[in-house]
Structure 1
Amino acid sequence: MFKKWTKGIALCCTAALLGTLAVGCGGSAPTGGEKKAAENQTQTSGDYIQTIKNRGYLIAGVKNDVPLFGQLKSGADKPEGFEVDIMKELAKKLFGDESKVKLEKVESQTRIPMLQNGQIDIVAGTTTITEERKKQIDFSDVYFKAGQSLLVKKGSPIKSVTDLKGKTVSTVRGSTSAKNIREKAPDAKVDEYATYTEAFQALKLGRSDAMTTDNSILMGFANEDPNFELVGGLFTEEPYGFGFQKGHPEWVNYVNDFLKELKANGKYDELYKKWFKEDPPK
């Protein structure tokens, strides 16, 4: 009887010990803050490309309010645009299947924090490469060259940044455009909005006299509404790069090689013509 009792105690202790080890090694799924911490730890260590492959899909941050680049149209369930298509091509390279990408909505003020928090693997959100941003995230090679310009209603007396004295300009919060326009037109009133759609709506409703951001973005709004036109030429250079959480040079190199392949095999030109109706600048 004593032997049976001690044998039972030993089995219970062994089971308890194994259960403790299983929890310590990740045998049970963490919840809440522990789960988020575990996910972030996975994303900041080891081979990041393998982390993505083990997950089974790419998480890409894209805009939902920028015509031609990333726009979620009324009635659609997924955004579409030049950057969205490039992310699909990246998923195809990683998994052999362009559908293996989860498109997460980002805005100008959220895209960098979402990268830093490990919520997305890469951001394709019309993000200009700047020295200040390089301190926060890593960038790919340039994949699109834009420049800041002005969008106005046709017939407007505004023809350049020099005409903005005393005028109201709408732009997007968290973008380089707001900083640039304050430097180029210090006597203008600058209103910042959360999204490009809101900034354009302010222009349409007469709450602003002009909208400013990259010409490539403004071009999309002008294409949607022929009552508006671009003026003022380009008064900045805005090279776009894909953004990455810091600490994953192998992932950055992988995407740079992917971009080179995309240009070499003609797919980049094909996508550029599809969205911008012209050949890419050489």
Structure 2
Amino acid sequence: MARTIVRGVERVCVRLSLAVALACSTMLAGCGNPDHAASTSVTEPTLERIRRTGEIALGHRENSIPFSYFDNQQHVVGYAHDISMTIAREVGKELGIPNLRVRLVPITSQTRIPLLLNGTIDLECGTTTNNRSRGRQIAFSTNYFMSGTRFLVRRDSGVHALDDLRGRNVVVAAGTTSEVALRTVNVQKKLGIRVIAARDHGDAFVALEFGKAIAFMSDDAILYGELSKAKVPGDWHVVGEPLTEEVYGCGLRKQDPTFKALADRTIIKMMRSGAMRQLYARWFQAPIPPRGVNLAVPFSAELASLFAAPNDRPLQ
């Protein structure tokens, strides 16, 4: 069944991602600085464009705790954001630009790929699953995280597994692999789930808290991050066997091997030096802003294997 679901997810994801990219790319072409968007040529190699402009544009999430989000001072922080900034510093060293300007551009699950394709951003490190369908549109760096899709519910909800959600409302972040997976299994198993698509992870958790849905489906690491926002975190827990396995990489434009090689070298160096493991401890095993909650997410054997043998392979 798991393999059937994954194959179904991939087929639907191809259609969904391509449709979103086609619909959004024109609309979003002017996002950020209009002059910048108009002057950017996506056929120009990324490092050459950065050398010419003295600026790198990084896409970031606004609500994806602990990967990439705003803290109480409206500063972008997080595990994936730190990786993104490390790559930006390496770009500055490579090009001999010690004071390289970093322009931070907010993105959502729906806009991240179109903004890469139209040149508004150069790199996106957040919670983007590296899969074959997305790999037809963009390139991925070496992977830096692994997760599985599960459900966040109230402890007193009576929900423990997928079958407990028959005929009920479940919220997801729009444009994510979780949305595709849930819609696919909903049809395959005739569950009658009413799928609610929220703008992003933060909005999805708000819908859950206000009772618009019985469960929030996403990657379990994201769910633990959202749980930290709750008024009483102990009222909530993550349940269910993983519906799909997810692996995250930084998104960048295709046909740009030099920039990809730099991003790959940076991530692999962080893994082999121990810096990536320290980053994990900082964001998943220690108090984090904005409320000083420790997510206490164990360092998995799968992630340890990835750090020991870095790769950019998709799982789906």
TM-score normalised by the shorter chain: which range applies?
0.7 to 0.9
Instruction: Name the TM-score, length of structure 1 as normaliser.
Output: 0.81
Higher relative contact order (CA 8 A, sep 6+): 2
- Structure 1 residues 99 and 39, CA, compared in 2 at 3 Å: closer, same or farther? closer
- Structure 1 residues 165 and 98, CA, compared in 2 at 3 Å: closer, same or farther? farther
Q: 1:67, CA displacement in angstroms?
A: 1.0
Q: Which amino acid aligns with 2:142?
A: D
Q: Which amino acid aligns with 2:120?
A: Q
- Choose the corresponding residue for 2:229, options 184, 200, 224: 224
Structure 2 gaps of 5+ residues are 1-32, 286-297, 305-316
Tell me the distance in 1 between the aligned counterparts of 2:246 and 2:284.
17
Q: Which amino acid aligns with 2:43?
A: T
Task: Answer with 163-172 or 185-194: which moved more.
Answer: 185-194
| Paired position in structure 2 for 1:68 | 66
Task: Answer with 97-106 or 253-262: which moved more.
Answer: 97-106
Q: 1:92, CA displacement in angstroms?
A: 2.0
Q: Deviations over 1:81-108 (max 9, x none)?
A: 1011111211222225698422211100
| Paired position in structure 1 for 2:208 | 203
Tell me the distance in 2 between the aligned counterparts of 1:175 and 1:193.
10
Tell me the distance in 2 between the aligned counterparts of 1:250 and 1:242.
15
- Structure 1 residues 265 and 35, CA, compared in 2 at 3 Å: closer, same or farther? closer
Q: Pairwise mapping of residues 51-66 of structure 1 onto structure 2 (< 5 A)?
A: 51-66=49-64
Q: Which amino acid aligns with 1:67?
A: I
- Choose the corresponding residue for 1:247, options 241, 255, 266: 255
Tell me the distance in 2 between the aligned counterparts of 1:98 and 1:162.
54
Does structure 2 retain, via aligned residues, the 8 Å contact 1:162–1:185?
no
| Paired position in structure 2 for 1:185 | 186
Does structure 1 retain, via aligned residues, the 8 Å contact 2:142–2:268?
no
**Identity in percent:** 30
Question: Is 1:120 equivalent to 2:130 in the alignment?
Answer: no
| Paired position in structure 2 for 1:233 | 241
| Paired position in structure 2 for 1:50 | 48
Question: Is 1:87 equivalent to 2:84 in the alignment?
Answer: yes
Instruction: Name the TM-score, length of structure 2 as normaliser.
Output: 0.73
Structure 1 gaps of 5+ residues are 1-31
Structural RMSD (CA): 2.1
Tell me the distance in 2 between the aligned counterparts of 1:120 and 1:262.
23
